[in-house]
Amino acid sequence: MSRFADLAVTPPDAAFALVEAYAVDTCCEKVDLCPGFYRDEQAMPWILPSVAEQLLYEDPTINHEHLLLVGHPGLVSGAQKLVFGVEASDIARIASI
């Protein structure tokens, strides 16, 4: 029996509905106001000044990117071991995000 059998299905995240609506909109004057991903003219990450202190804002060596949707590999691996067990024989075949 699955440990998750009694979990209720949660509604989809509203932010992804915004992304989908933006993608299908054919208006040439549309503006992307989806949360979290700001880019400059060179498609490089741009951090809102209100989010970062001046020192961090001016330091080009600091990576301000969001994680990919698959998440942090170390965290995902640790969570797999926690949920499925360290000795799970098929751990390499388990897909997690």
**16 pLDDT exceeds 90?**
no
- Does the pTM of the predicted model rise above 0.85? no
Residue 27 has what pLDDT?
Answer: 94
Chain segment 46-79, per-residue pLDDT in tens: 877 777 777 776 777 877 677 888 888 899 988 8
Output the CA–CA distances (angstroms, integers) from residue 51 to 16, 39, 48, 57, 75, in the order listed: 23, 15, 5, 9, 25
Residue-range domain boundaries for the chain: 13-65, 67-97
CB burial class (10 A; 0-12, 13-18, 19+) of residue 55? exposed
**39 pLDDT exceeds 70?**
yes
